[in-house]
Amino acid sequence: MPVRTRLAPSPTGDPHLGSAYAALFNRAFAKRNGGQFILRIEDTDRTRNSVESEAAIFDALRWLGLDWDEGPDVGGDKGPYRQSERTAIYKEYIAKLISVGGAFHCFCSKERLDELRRDQMQRGATPKYDGKCLALDSGEIDERIARGDSHVIRLGVPDKGECRFVDGVRGEITIPWSQVDMQVLIKSDGFPTYHFASTVDDHLMGISHIFRGEEWISSFPKHQLIYRYFGWDMPLHYHLPLLRNPDQSKMSKRRNATSINYYRRCGFLRESLLNYLATMGWSMPEEREKFSMEEFYGEFNPERLSPRGPVFDIEKLSWLNGLYIRELTSEELKERVFDWAFGGNRLDRLLSLVRERSERFDDLFRQADYILGDRIELKEEDFEHRNLELDEIRKILHFVNKSLEELEEWNRDNLYESLNLLSKSMSLKFRDFLGPIFVAVSGRTVTLPLFDSLELLERDVVKMRIRSAIDVLGGISKKESKRLDREWRDLVSTQSS
């Protein structure tokens, strides 16, 4: 049986380091065994997908050199490789699953489900579906479907016994069926959920081995059930440890830069980022810490995978990156630095901004330093503002970050429009509102035009700088941030309606 592995990201938000991490091991395993590595886009959540995000994933993975043998943009004979284009397939297979008794229709309302969950939580039970619609007879089901009642399709789960399975990293794992929910497989909008689409596709695409994050362990029984109902062989699963924040929690953008683009924009080399990622939860036989991807692929053996979640340490990554920089020939270095700083039309854009404000060439670098470098030291005093209190500033910055996150295409006009709107809905003078952003992004009050700067800096660096500015200003607690998120949501929605 040929070795086929895959990465199955969903196009929501920034291309995550975790995707690169999973891609690395999947790709390595395929390369090592003469197999194929496949990219499949899991865009079944119609409310959260974006084409920008999909493009960003392609771009980030390609930048890293983690390209794929089959995928939405390169084709392949097991396509289509975008789940939104496979709905006919899921319809066919869900019908099969229902006919073998592996799934059933459910007409329960959201209200009933919410109440049920609340009750179960209160009693200290595992919250899950109680099986009410299991009792429906087929006549009634047909009638309600014909009537157009909103419904979903759920997975049938045994009520006794336990699910045993082998995780390639941890060995045998046992989970009682009583813990497993009757997962929704087809949503009321007719789209499949991850659990269904992913297992069907993995089978149809001939996936033989799956390296995925540890957060999937607890839903493994559902996936196993689907394979069993269909009578399919299951791929071998390796659950990769989760990359962690310094406090050991799952790496999140709240506490860390999680976007591949952030590291790229800060001037990390693909070689060192990849190399570093490969030492997280895996080690070379002789404990070599610096190695190329060719060496890694030649040596990769899943038995050396560790179950322990590693803390992502940007200091050590930086050290490695320095090693790689020093190893480049002068020619390579010149080319790559130039490309990083001025590639595409960045130089033209920079010069057009600086030109009007320059009297000498040396003004260029003085004015553009905050765009080219990422080592701004901020102090609380830098934010002192004649019209704004500290709390207000923190709030502005928090709201700005929210708005920037939601922004679709990252360009100066969109940025202007979005922030202008935000300042209006906050009833602030645009000028006052912009002040803290200037400081957060550049460390100064006198800078190049803000929206052009933001565009050049790119989303992830901007967001990161604003986040650290908020920290300098005393930070925002989780609770406060939740409250502010709500407030922001209200502001934005009243504005747009």
Partner RNA sequence: GUCCCCUUCGUCUAGUGGCCCAGGACACUGGGUUUUCAUCCCAGCAACAGGGGUUCGACUCCCCUAGGGGACGCCA
Q: Does 454 bind RNA (CB under 7 A)?
A: no
Judge contact between 305 and 356, C-beta under 8 A. Answer: no
Q: In the set 55, 121, 134, 333, which binds RNA (CB under 7 A)?
A: 121
Q: What is d(CA 415, CA 421) in angstroms, rounded to the nearest whole number?
A: 10
Q: Does 304 bind RNA (CB under 7 A)?
A: yes
Q: In the set 78, 117, 144, 444, which binds RNA (CB under 7 A)?
A: 117
Joined together, the tokens standing for residue 259 give 């976007």
Q: Does 199 bind RNA (CB under 7 A)?
A: no
Q: Does 171 bind RNA (CB under 7 A)?
A: yes
Judge contact between 470 and 398, C-beta under 8 A. Answer: yes
Q: Does 2 bind RNA (CB under 7 A)?
A: no
Q: In the set 233, 313, 332, 348, which binds RNA (CB under 7 A)?
A: 313
* Residue the block writes with tokens 């196009």: 11
Q: In the set 137, 159, 294, 315, which binds RNA (CB under 7 A)?
A: 315
Report, as residue numbers or ranges, the catalytic residues.
Answer: 253
Q: Does 111 bind RNA (CB under 7 A)?
A: no
Annotate each residue in 318-337 with x if it binds RNA (CB under 7 A) or - if it does not, as one string: -x--xx--x-----------
Q: Which is nearer to RNA, 328 or 428 (CB)?
A: 328
Provide CB contacts within 8 A for 269, sequence distance 6+: 321, 324, 325, 336
Q: Does 9 bind RNA (CB under 7 A)?
A: yes
* Residue the block writes with tokens 């053996």: 301
Judge contact between 227 and 251, C-beta under 8 A. Answer: no
Which part of the chain contacts RNA (CB under 7 A), choosing from 122-130, 422-430, 445-453, 455-463?
122-130
Reference 166, options 82, 114, 81, 237; nearest CA is: 237
Q: What is d(CA 16, CA 12) in angstroms, rounded to the nearest whole number?
A: 10
Q: Does 191 bind RNA (CB under 7 A)?
A: yes
Q: Does 493 bind RNA (CB under 7 A)?
A: no
The sign of the torsion formed by the CA atoms of 448, 454, 456, 457 equals positive
Q: In the set 34, 124, 148, 161, which binds RNA (CB under 7 A)?
A: 124
Q: Does 283 bind RNA (CB under 7 A)?
A: yes
On the 0-12 / 13-18 / 19+ scale of CB atoms within 10 A, 306 is: middle
Joined together, the tokens standing for residue 191 give 């789209």
Binding residues with RNA: total (CB under 7 A): 76
Q: Which is nearer to RNA, 283 or 358 (CB)?
A: 283
Q: In the set 119, 142, 158, 218, which binds RNA (CB under 7 A)?
A: 218
Q: Does 280 bind RNA (CB under 7 A)?
A: yes
Judge contact between 149 and 107, C-beta under 8 A. Answer: yes
Q: Does 45 bind RNA (CB under 7 A)?
A: yes
Packing angle of the helix pair 346-355, 450-457 (nearest 10 deg): 160
